[in-house]
């Protein structure tokens, strides 16, 4: 299983550490991956996603909840 986000595909990036002496050493930057459960087609699935995708999912989940609650609030008024 690759070290990558299951949603956006973000994975490891490679580069160099470059100190004052200019002695380059290899460096790996890894995404902040979290194992979490999300609901897909009515079933909960365990996925590895980066924290940026977690924020995006939370943002749209909150907007979906607001839209779902809006007709209920109008019906009461």
How far is the C-alpha of 30 from the C-alpha of 12, rounded, in Å?
5
pLDDT number for residue 36: 93
How far is the C-alpha of 69 from the C-alpha of 33, rounded, in Å?
32
Tens of pLDDT, residue by residue over 25-70, are 999 999 999 999 988 888 899 999 999 999 999 998 877 777 777 7
Burial class (CB in 10 A: 0-12, 13-18, 19+), 67: exposed
pTM: 0.71
Which domains does the chain show, CATH number per domain?
13-76 (2.30.170)
Contacts with 15 (C-beta within 8 Å, 6 or more apart), sequence order: 26, 27, 29
In this structure, the number of other CB atoms found within 10 A of the CB of residue 38 comes to: 16
């Amino acid at each position: 299983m690759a070290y990558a986000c299951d949603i956006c595909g973000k994975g490891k990036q490679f580069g160099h550490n470059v100190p004052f002496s200019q002695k380059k050493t290899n460096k790996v930057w890894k995404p902040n991956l979290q194992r979490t459960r999300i609901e897909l087609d009515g079933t909960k699935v365990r996925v590895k996603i980066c924290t940026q995708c977690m924020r995006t999912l939370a943002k749209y989940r909150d907007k979906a909840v607001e839209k779902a609650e809006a007709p209920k609030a109008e019906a009461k008024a």
